[in-house]
Structure formats: C-alpha cells, structure tokens
C-alpha cells in the first residue's frame, strides 16, 4: 500500500512492474510444457497431465499438431528415462514405463478423435452411399425411395457447397443437380420413369468430386463440412429404410415379380405349385426359373424340372439351358434328360 509520500514516478514504475508481472503470468499459463530434465515416473506423469490439459483446450488443427509434437517428446523421454522394470515373475508387479506408454497411447487416441472432420470424410461417406445405391437390388418401391433420398441429398449438398465454395461445382466435371434433371427431362409428371440407378450414382459421384474440388479446411470450413456430413447421415438413413429384395420374404419377392399373377381359381396346394402349372401352360420360362431359384424345397425343385422336361424345346432359352446344363455337369440324371428333350446343342460340347 502507498503512504501518500511516494513519488508519482515511483508509483508508475511499480504499476509497469505489476503489468510486466501480469504479462509474465499470462505467458507462463500459455507456455508449452517442457520435458522434465529429471525424468521420473512422477515428473513424466505431471508432464502428461499438462499435455492432457492442452489437448482439452485445443481448438484448431494446429493446436492438435502441437499436442502431437509434445507426445513425441514424451515418448522419447519415457524411452530414455531410468525407470524401474517390473519383476518378470510377478504378473501383478508395477510397470511404470508401461503405464506411461499407455497414457501416451490414450492421449494420441484423443488427438485422433479431436481432429476433423475433413472434406475427405464427406467424400468417403458420399462414395459409400453411391456404392450402396449401385450394389443394392431394390424393389420398385425401394428404388423410388432411394431416388427421392438421393435427389434430396444432392439439393442440400449443392447448397452447402455453393455457400462455402461457390466455384467448386462449376470447376468439377459434372453438376450433380443437372445430372438428375437430365434423367427427368421430357417426362410428364404422371408418367415419369424412375431415375435409373446409374444416373443416381453419377449424381452422387459428382457431389463427391465437387467436395474434393472445394478443398475444405477443417477449421475454416467446419460449418460446411458439418452440414454435408449431416446430409450424408440423412441419406444413409433413408437408403437403409428403402426396401430391397433381401428385406422381403420369398413369397413377397415372388408376388412382387408377378409370379402369382397367373392364378385364378385354383385347387392345387401349395399355391406356388398351382402357379407353376399355369406358367408351364403359358410357356413362361422366366417364371419357372424364378421359382426354381427362389423356392428351395425338394418338392418345388422336382416339379420345376419336370415342367421343363414336359415343355421340351418350348422351354429352351439361353437362361434355362444354362441352368439345366449346370445341373447336368454334376451328373444329375433329370437334367440330362431335360437337355435331350430341349435338343440343346450345348449338351454335346
């Protein structure tokens, strides 16, 4: 405290000194931790505690790079430290070096978890969705739902990309929204055909290319990346909900593909057999093959093959010959007879 007789200049100097002391305190708080000269288990744990605090406070990729560098130093310090080794004969013996190495590994995992997300994460997610669209066997309803999900995603993604990188879509090879518009051109709304799968995947691939072209920065473009990842999450959820053939029971798959459409009043049971007889009478080879592939019972397999045998040349198509030939190659006698009835030249090769 002042006694009132102090020289004003002295007071000013004291204030400056106090300010300098405050600045020094701030610098001490923000200074990076240093590897202890006397590396002991305790001092190394304190060093790792300081690194953990910096990791928790990290806000940018550069901050995380600094933490990573400190962990490299810590790893070197632990390796070079003179620490007691555990007793090999005692499974419960303390292992200071191992415990410290485990802490470093945990902190490295923390750094990895704190990084990103990156534009590359968006690209990977969109490409994965494109693969799902291409590789899934959709039902008719599922195809419509998948197409709607892709169209919604493409619109959201294009807006997010335009906001953050206005030239990215123009500089990419394809405009994703234009690709979907091309698929619908010339179609009346009531008679519009579903957008083909290859057009859907092309639009998704164009989004991925535009994101890559934008070169988003994890720090500066965090909002755009977050919006795009949220949109891809919605797309993945919608594709997961869209109906695919594997979601249906066998009879539902057959019904969806029109197998039962030939049935009127029937007396035979099971209904699959009744439908098979109608398909045989009408020469519907594809439907008989569908039943043979879908219905796994020996009863239906036998009746499908007998239908082909009775149909003879009438049942001969490239697909039916290929199916029966595969069975004949395994010395299946009924299949060999069927090939003879079909007069299939492939049987003599």
pLDDT at position 93, please?
76
End-to-end CA distance of the chain: 112
* Residues 256 and 342 occupy one common structural domain: yes
| End residue of a domain, out of 219, 247, 275 | 247
Q: Give backbone dihedrals phi and psi of 205, rounded to 5 degrees, phi first.
A: -65, -35
pLDDT in tens, 291-318: 999 898 899 999 999 999 999 999 999 9
* Residues 110 and 36 occupy one common structural domain: yes
pLDDT at position 207, please?
96
* Residues 288 and 208 occupy one common structural domain: no
pLDDT at position 129, please?
97
* Residues 242 and 256 occupy one common structural domain: no
pLDDT at position 28, please?
41
* Residues 159 and 241 occupy one common structural domain: yes
- Residue 348 gets which letter from DSSP? G
Query: Count of domains in the chain?
Result: 3
pLDDT at position 30, please?
64
- Give the structural domain span for 192: 119-247
Q: Is the pLDDT of residue 8 over 80?
A: no
* Residues 127 and 215 occupy one common structural domain: yes
Long-range Cβ contacts of 267-273 (<8 Å, 24+ apart):
272/300, 273/299, 273/300, 273/303
Instruction: Tell me whether the omega of the peptide bond preceding residue 117 falls within 30 degrees of 0, making it cis.
Output: yes
Q: Can you tell me the mean pLDDT for 326-346?
A: 87
* Residues 262 and 338 occupy one common structural domain: yes
Q: Is the pLDDT of residue 173 over 50?
A: yes
Domain annotation covers residue 72: yes
Percent of the chain topping pLDDT 70: 86
Domain annotation covers residue 16: no
Task: Give the model's confidence band at 347: pLDDT under 50 very low, under 70 low, under 90 confident, else very high.
Answer: low
Choice among 96-110, 178-192, 228-242 with the minimum mean pLDDT: 178-192
* Residues 79 and 162 occupy one common structural domain: no
pLDDT at position 19, please?
47
pLDDT in tens, 258-296: 999 998 776 667 889 999 999 999 999 999 999 999 898
Domain annotation covers residue 136: yes
* Residues 307 and 224 occupy one common structural domain: no
Domain annotation covers residue 43: yes
pLDDT at position 124, please?
97
| End residue of a domain, out of 221, 247, 273 | 247
Domain annotation covers residue 57: yes
Domain annotation covers residue 274: yes
Domain annotation covers residue 8: no
* Residues 170 and 100 occupy one common structural domain: no
Domain annotation covers residue 11: no
Question: pTM of the predicted model, to two decimals?
Answer: 0.64
Taking the C-alpha atoms of residue 233 and residue 244, their distance in angstroms, rounded to an integer, is 19
Instruction: Tell me whether the omega of the peptide bond preceding residue 222 falls within 30 degrees of 0, making it cis.
Output: no
Taking the C-alpha atoms of residue 150 and residue 203, their distance in angstroms, rounded to an integer, is 8
Task: Give the model's confidence band at 174: pLDDT under 50 very low, under 70 low, under 90 confident, else very high.
Answer: confident
* Residues 241 and 130 occupy one common structural domain: yes
* Residues 109 and 162 occupy one common structural domain: no
Q: Give backbone dihedrals phi and psi of 97, rounded to 5 degrees, phi first.
A: -65, -45
pLDDT in tens, 39-58: 889 999 999 999 999 999 99
| End residue of a domain, out of 247, 275, 308 | 247
pLDDT at position 302, please?
93
């Amino acid at each position: 405290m002042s006694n009132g007789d102090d020289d004003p200049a002295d007071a000013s100097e004291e204030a400056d000194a106090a300010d300098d002391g405050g600045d020094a305190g701030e610098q001490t708080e923000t200074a990076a931790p240093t590897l202890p000269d006397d590396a002991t288990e305790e001092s190394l744990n304190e060093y790792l505690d300081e690194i953990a605090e910096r990791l928790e406070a990290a806000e940018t990729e550069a901050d995380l790079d600094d933490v990573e560098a400190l962990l490299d130093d810590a790893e070197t310090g632990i390796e070079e430290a003179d620490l007691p080794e555990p007793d090999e004969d005692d499974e419960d013996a303390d292992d200071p070096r191992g415990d410290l190495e485990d802490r470093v590994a945990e902190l490295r995992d923390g750094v990895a978890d704190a990084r990103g997300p990156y534009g590359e994460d968006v690209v990977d997610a969109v490409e994965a969705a494109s693969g799902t669209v291409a590789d899934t066997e959709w039902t008719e309803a599922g195809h419509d739902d998948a197409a709607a999900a892709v169209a919604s995603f493409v619109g959201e993604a294009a807006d997010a990309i335009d906001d953050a990188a206005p030239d990215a879509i123009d500089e990419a090879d394809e405009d994703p929204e234009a690709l979907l518009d091309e698929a619908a051109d010339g179609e009346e709304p009531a008679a519009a055909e579903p957008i083909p799968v290859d057009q859907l995947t092309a639009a998704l691939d164009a989004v991925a290319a535009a994101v890559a072209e934008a070169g988003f920065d994890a720090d500066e473009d965090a909002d755009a990346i977050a919006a795009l990842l949220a949109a891809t999450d919605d797309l993945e959820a919608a594709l997961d909900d869209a109906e695919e053939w594997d979601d249906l029971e066998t009879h539902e798959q057959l019904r969806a593909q029109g197998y039962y459409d030939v049935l009127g009043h029937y007396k035979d049971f099971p209904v699959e057999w009744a439908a098979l007889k109608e398909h045989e009478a009408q020469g519907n080879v594809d439907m008989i093959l569908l039943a043979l592939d879908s219905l796994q019972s020996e009863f239906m397999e036998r009746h499908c093959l007998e239908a082909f045998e009775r149909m003879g040349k009438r049942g001969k198509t490239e697909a039916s010959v290929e199916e029966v030939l595969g069975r004949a190659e395994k010395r299946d006698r009924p299949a060999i007879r069927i090939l003879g009835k079909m007069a299939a030249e492939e049987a003599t090769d």
